[in-house]
Structure 1
Amino acid sequence: MFLDTANTERIEKALQSGIFQGITTNPTLLLKERENREQKVEELFTKDIPFLFIQAVGSTFNELYEDAHRIYSLAAEGKKIGVKISLDQTGLSVISKLKQENPDYTILGTAIYSADQAILGALAQCDYLAPYVNRMSTHGIDPYDAIEKTRAFIDSRNLNTKIMGASFKNSQQVIQALTSGAHTATIPYDIYVQMIDKEIALSAIDVFNQHGYELRGS
């Protein structure tokens, strides 16, 4: 699992769980923190983050390509960084160019709304693909069917690409994405809390603790 946020406090809390492989961010999340991107990345790298994904920005090939290189240059010694690139014609061209230059560059193809779009990303050698589950549902597109078809394509050709479900509004969407074939998912902090801190479970835990304290005192 990945955590989708740029909030340092939430990252520190979530990483204590030991289940997160890394952090994903985007310009919207970074803007919420009201910090310069480079400064924020430097701050995040002071934390024990296994992997950090940053979104490249640009409306032309050169803008997107140059920003991707700027992001890769931000990696501190011993730290792992990946670039998120939106999958349109420009993004696909940039991804192919980057992979030709260095197959070890880690790339997450984003803004995916269909299986055919994802398949092209897999053929371009994206390491991860991020189908936007809730946004697809909102537009009348079945995200789970798209995930199933993409996973079938990846598996049938033994590609190394992994599906990272994204854009969730509730924990059930996360579970359905994973059971439909997504290898992993990137989730906001509030959904992580939804998934683990169930009210009925917390009530039972409180009772166990209360009884345990009583036993200690007897």
Structure 2
Amino acid sequence: MERQGGEQRLGYWRVENGSAVAVGYAEALAAWRAAAYPVLVQVAGRYRAVITYRELGEAVQEASGVRTRALLHNWIGRVLGGVVHEAHRRQDPPLTALVVHSADGMVGEGYNEVLQVAGLPAAADAHDREVHAATSRLACYRAYCTALPADGGSPALAPRYQDTVARRRTAAALRAPVPVCPSCHVQLPATGICDNCD
């Protein structure tokens, strides 16, 4: 490989014997994909743990020894795409569900690749995508975590959507028909027996 004078002139590199050595994009991507899988398995070993895209980007560079100054969003999706296909090949749960945005704790639109590889339709919206990802995260913890709650754990939505789900449940309960007495048409108590007609 051609040696360069410094990291600044390289798109992708590794340091060998104190010098930066150029690495091609395909080689960098392969190294990061290989490094990402064990990093995500380690995250899945801690119940309710997640990792941000930025943290994963740094972790795969550290583990592989291959570095870049390229913007994270220009390459992390391809790394995660490789993990999606590898998890599917191994019949492992979708480990990429553990990778979230730091701002809102949600998976990104690229998570739809998990659904596509599984032969499922893309999520209709961010909420549906997050619900699927929460279920997938629980599957990851159940596969790799040795310290699950006694009940086996439960799916954990991003905080923003925990509130949304609670509001939807309340709205559904309010829309549910209220049972009434067929004789006097008064709302029935919890017993289901009319106090007026009994």
TM-score by length of 2: 0.31
Which has a greater percent of strand?
1
- Structure number, greater radius of gyration: 2
